[in-house]
Amino acid sequence: MKMKPLFEVKAVDREFYERRLRDWLPDKIIDIHTHVWLKRFNKKKDPDAKSRTVSWPSMVADQNPVEHLVETYSLMFPGKSVTPLMFTTIVPDQKLDEANDYVARASRENKFPALIFSHPRWNSGELTRKIKAGGFLGAKSYLSLAPAYLPAKEIRIFDFFPRHQLEVLNKHGLVMMLHIPRDGRLRDPVNLAQMLEIEERYPNIKLIIAHVGRAYCPEDIGDSFKVLAKTRKMCFDCSANTNAETFRQLLETVGPKRVLFGSDMPILRMRTRRICENGFYVNIVPRGIYGDISGDKHMREVNGQEAERLTFFMYEELDAFRRAAHAVKLSAREVEDIFYNNARQLLAKK
């Protein structure tokens, strides 16, 4: 008996992929930004708890086992071979070791590269031992792990990626996947100063700025790319971003050799078209398929033909990047670098 697919691929999706993406994408792809975890690792919902994260990603999937990730690529990328860089997602502190162990096991069994999801309370020795034991290529962390007494708006990078851990990553030439904090996103001067500090003080870290610094709307950019023009090594992934203007300015500033394709799976399975209104991003989604969205200002439902035309978040991201690549006249080889060669070189063990 044939198994039901993980999700439906509709005619609108197939047409979008065939007309805009298939021939433009290289045959081999590395997805530098993916989350894998099991439902049993999830945090129990507390309606009274203050959250440092948006709620909409949890509406897309309550788990993403590695088998689901592989199936997602098969459904979304016919004719392509996709290799993920994996790490877990935000889980309760008491589940973090178990979640990291799952990623390490999935990495070994599938021969996919992986990062540890680090906690700022770990000392240097703990981080070193955990990375070595799991065969990880580096670390990912998140602002929600910063000390609880800090207001979300005041969190800085070194509050969840402390300097003693950066010393470890620098010593061993490891990857640092950085989701920057703060409401100002990429334009925030504190973020920019600390990004530059990491590049200057820890030159052996393979630094990746996730989501192009969360510059999801043009207003998030500010003068950031003028500042970032000073950088020489840090890389940027385009995960969960559909802002073609951000991509264009990024490519013009750092060139194609420091840009990496990333998805942020599984959330890019969402059917959505992202818009910006006065610097605030909104995900337009079909009515009813993501439950009660009334508590999330980043979500808006539509009906009828507008809903029927919506395709995957993944395809919207790729198409936005395709338009930016066309605007700056990237060659086919440079596109291949962004989607495969750059990541392959970055993840290569010395």
pLDDT for 86 equals 98
- The rounded percent of the chain whose pLDDT value lies above 90 is 95
Under 8 Å between Cβ of 261 and 30:
yes
Cα angle value 103/108/110 (rounded, 5°) = 90
Q: Which long-range contacts (CB under 8 A, 24 or more apart) does 144-150 make?
A: 144/51, 144/52, 144/53, 144/90, 145/119, 145/120, 146/52, 146/120, 146/181, 147/120
pLDDT for 350 equals 65
Q: What pLDDT digit, counting tens, does each position of 3-46 carry? A: 899 999 999 999 999 999 999 999 999 999 999 999 999 977 65
Task: State the Cα–Cα distance between residues 31 and 239, nearest whole angstrom.
Answer: 9
DSSP letter assigned to residue 25: S
For β-strands 259-260 and 273-277, DSSP reports them as: unpaired
Which portions of the chain are predicted below pLDDT 70? 1-2, 45-51, 350
The whole-model pTM stands at 0.97
Give exposure, 110-146, as e/b (b: 16+ Cβ within 10 Å): bebbbbbbbbbebeeeebbebbeebebbbbbbbbebb
pLDDT for 53 equals 83
CA dihedral 235, 240, 246, 247 (to 10 degrees): 60
Task: State the Cα–Cα distance between residues 293 and 301, nearest whole angstrom.
Answer: 8
Task: Note the Cα 287 to chain centre separation in Å.
Answer: 26
Locus of tokens 């640092």: 176
Quick check: helix, strand or coil at residue 87? strand
| Among 253, 263, 178, 261, residue whose Cα is nearest residue 223 | 253
Q: What pLDDT digit, counting tens, does each position of 322-341 carry? A: 999 999 999 999 999 999 99
DSSP letter assigned to residue 240: T
